[in-house]
Amino acid sequence: MKGMEFPVVGTKVKGLDKVFDLADPKSRKLYFEAKAGREIAKIREYLKNGTFMGFFVGKKNSGKGTYSGMMAEIFGNDKIALVGVGDLVREVHGNWDNFVKTGEYQKLKKAYRGFISFDEAVERLHGRSTSSLLPTEFILALLKVRLEKYKGKAVFLDGLPRDMDQISYSLFFRDLANVRDDPDMFILIDIPMAVIDERIKYRVVCPKCKTSRNLKLLVTKDISYNSKEKKFVLHCDNPDCKKEIMLPKEGDNLGIGPIKDRLIKDEEILKSIMGLHGMPKVLLRNHVAVKDADKYFDRYELTPEYVLSWNENKGMVDVVEKPWTVNDDNGEESYSLMAPTVVVTLIKQLADTLDL
């Protein structure tokens, strides 16, 4: 983050020389236990009867969904839930007729407090009023109602605050947590613009299971070459998808260009939250300076670059793995960290924040 730097939370364990394959679920499970087994045990015990609420805040494409998914992988989908504000609003909008018939509608109407009427807020939800965005008060009331569905689960919330004025709703964040008397915290993610740019430019998605991979940074085991288009093709690793071809999203080749303003705003929000008192903060770094990497992390925890080439003689794709570096937002040459490694730093800080 330009002008600011989160502290490095290292994951090296003295005497642990084993190399883990962080792309393999079985190896990843062993990795998590080796790197943060004590903290995992404490959090697992806590989640038997307790819950918490973590507000993910980071630039678009900073990995919030990936990190919360891995937390569910570790602790179980019955204990961890991700609530995306955008997803929730789209769900309610797309199923409004059915939503009105549920008890949630009446609860939403009762919970809403705002400077425009409830009916006008609903009109904005349906896009009939384009003069302004959906009121924050309506979104907060909707979240408060929806949280009742996640009893017994710790919740990671993605999508608030979305704008500078929403930071002033920090007391309402506490009110949301009070729905279940949860301890709450901000989980702030620092990721260089250059990393996001590369993630977007080379991203491909399976049209069946929607799994995302990257032609440069996260390849699958099955890769082919389209000689006609002179392009490499990743095939989904999910057995249910039967080697489905993974496809780029329209516009991804432009990288961060189309969302640059949004990313700058996200960074301003992060900086403002750093100055907010009275709420614990978990600080996640996606990267580490090259000069410090060996001190804090093992080599397999650093995101590699995969160089693909077509071997005409063998009739197959050759894959060469090499170190990948970028300049962070302050111009420091850095490695990007693998997602499981960031999750280990999340687990360590979460245990401290919950005072376990």
| CATH code of the domain covering residue 44 | 3.40.50
In a domain? residue 298: yes
Residue 2 has pLDDT above 60, yes or no: yes
| Tally of structural domains, the chain | 1
Residue 142 three-state SS: helix
Residues 30 and 20: beta-carbon distance below 8 Å: yes
pLDDT at 127: 81
In a domain? residue 129: no
In a domain? residue 10: no
How deeply is 11 buried, as exposed, middle or buried, from its count of CB atoms within 10 A (0-12, 13-18, 19+)? buried
Decide which of 325 and 165 is more confident: 325
* Sole residue written with tokens 């393999």: 24
- Taking the C-alpha atoms of residue 118 and residue 100, their distance in angstroms, rounded to an integer, is 13
Residue 37 three-state SS: helix
For residue 317, what are the β-bridge partners? 310
pLDDT at 292: 96
pLDDT at 130: 45
In a domain? residue 140: no
The whole domain housing 269 covers: 25-79+152-353
pLDDT at 172: 62
In a domain? residue 284: yes
In a domain? residue 170: yes
In a domain? residue 104: no
Helices (H), the chain: 25-46, 64-75, 85-94, 96-100, 103-111, 118-125, 136-146, 170-178, 193-201, 260-274, 293-296, 339-353
The structure tokens listed for 302 are 């650093």
- Taking the C-alpha atoms of residue 262 and residue 251, their distance in angstroms, rounded to an integer, is 16
In a domain? residue 138: no
